[in-house]
Chains A and B, each alone.
Chain A
Amino acid sequence: MANTGQTAAESGPATVSSVNSAEGQRRVHLPGDVHMWVMVLGDLIIFGAYFIIFMVFRAMKPQEFLASEQHLNINIGVLNTLVLLASSWFIARSVQATRAGDQAQALRLTYGGGLCGVAFIAIKAYEWSTKIAQGYTISSNDFFMFYYMLTGVHLFHVSLGLLILGITVRELRNPRRRRPFMIEAGATYWHMVDLLWIVIFALLYVMR
């Protein structure tokens, strides 16, 4: 009861600001807090180093890497990318719903994003198990070493992201909290997971 009143009161100014969104867009705003950005930018640099190292080793044995790359299942790779992109869309919309004061919608969208994250892990587990069953293990060659390590460390990030989304959910469910910067910080992390996967997908699955 008190909740709905609060939502209505808050959504008033929010809709106003989104009507003249052209102005709202230009307002400078750091999503989340600077601490999360230190994490994200640092992680991007670290992963950037992994990617460059991958390319250096790929350049040494381009034929072996390309031949191994052919054994990956592109359907699963594309599916996983789509799943993760969808989850990012959910989370981005959830942040907007939070700003508009619509907690219930934000919560639903966060659950949607989380479910996609779980699906990503399930698909990845299936992919790994088929690869191992086909005899492509971590010790097969350098490409598969990179494949398992890069996707494995990324999977750790996905799990951590799910944990952070869990914290976001708690934040949204608690009427006394709902601090927008917390929701934004969680979203920023989640999009970073998506961003890293985009690069991994391009390097491991698609490039020749």
Chain B
Amino acid sequence: MQILAEAEDLPKTANIKTQLISLWTAPVFGVVLLIAFLAFPGFFPPMSPEMTAEQVAKFYSDHTAMIRFSMVTFNLCGIMLLPIFMVIVVQMKRMATQSHVFAYCYLTAAVTGATLFALADIFYLVAAFRPARNPELIELLNDMGWMIFIAPVGAAVAMNLLLGLAIYFDDGPNPVFQRWVGHYAIGTALAMAPAVGAAVFTTGPVAWNGVISFWLRNGAFTLFVIVMFFVLRNVLHRQAIDEGVAR
């Protein structure tokens, strides 16, 4: 993006620049989080909910260092994904043919989702802090970690439905997002929704280690962030041109 000379110090340019910074935190910290994800010894394959308390306790005492590394990284860098969702909020607020109600709902839903995400890693870390604890309690902490990590998809579902709706309602001559982004957001919401079963089932595809709950949910979310990075990059570019900030 080529910022125009005369626009360099204007507030509307700073608005674009701060959004670009927020956007670029996603790939940078996305890579960091991917490393943390790959480093967690209990993701390949995901730990079964049917493990006995002794097996869970043994898992934590065998792999303490890597669990700590992975979850500390999630703790420190996980919320650095929030900025890209806030760029989506700012863009939703640019939609001309609607009130900003969807944008504010999206913002609050994002905060709820991020809060739960920030909570999960603490349970894993407490379990790994003293692996010699009573195995029943290690299992309890492990269950809490997994359930809070996988099951509460409600916020993400609501966010994506809101984004989809906002895009459908944005039917003026100059829409912010292209229409397929709306379909894609709804599709992501549908793909993530069944993972709620992780709160109930201990076996099968919607248990927390199941294909749907673990791989489909996390895959859909990751892909959504990647796709939205490119979508938002284009949207920001267009905004910059429309507002006379860039060429």
Contact = CB atoms under 8 A, between A and B. Distances in A.
Interface string B1-34: 0000100100000000000000000000000000
Interface string A49-82: 0000000000000000000000000000000000
A176 B65 contact: no
A10 B65 CA distance: 58
B65 A139 contact: yes
A105 interface: no
A137 interface: yes
A139 B128 CA distance: 13
A137 B66 CA distance: 11
Contacts of B65: 137, 139
Dominant secondary structure at the A interface: loop
Interface in B27-83: 65
Interface in A136-153: 137, 139
Contacts of A137: 65
Interface residues of B, number: 3
A145 B65 CA distance: 14
Nearest to B6: A176
Nearest to A177: B8
Contacts, number: 4
B112 to A, nearest CB: 30
Interface string A74-113: 0000000000000000000000000000000000000000
4 contacts: A137-B65, A139-B65, A176-B5, A176-B8
B237 to A, nearest CB: 18
Interface residues of A, number: 3
Interface in A158-198: 176
Nearest to A175: B5
Contacts of B5: 176
Nearest to B65: A137
A3 to B, nearest CB: 14
Nearest to A176: B5
A176 B4 CA distance: 11
A202 B186 CA distance: 58
A137 B65 CA distance: 9
A193 to B, nearest CB: 20
A91 B5 CA distance: 27
A137 B5 CA distance: 51
A159 B65 CA distance: 25
Nearest to B69: A138
Contacts of A176: 5, 8
Nearest to B8: A176
A170 to B, nearest CB: 10
Nearest to A132: B65
A154 to B, nearest CB: 17
A137 B68 CA distance: 12
Which 3 pairs across A and B sit closest by C-beta, in order of nearness?
A: A176-B5, A137-B65, A176-B8
A113 B177 CA distance: 41
A139 B65 CA distance: 9
B24 to A, nearest CB: 11
A143 to B, nearest CB: 18
Contacts of A139: 65
A165 B5 CA distance: 22
A176 B65 CA distance: 51
Interface string A116-157: 000000000000000000000101000000000000000000
Interface in B61-111: 65
A144 B177 CA distance: 51
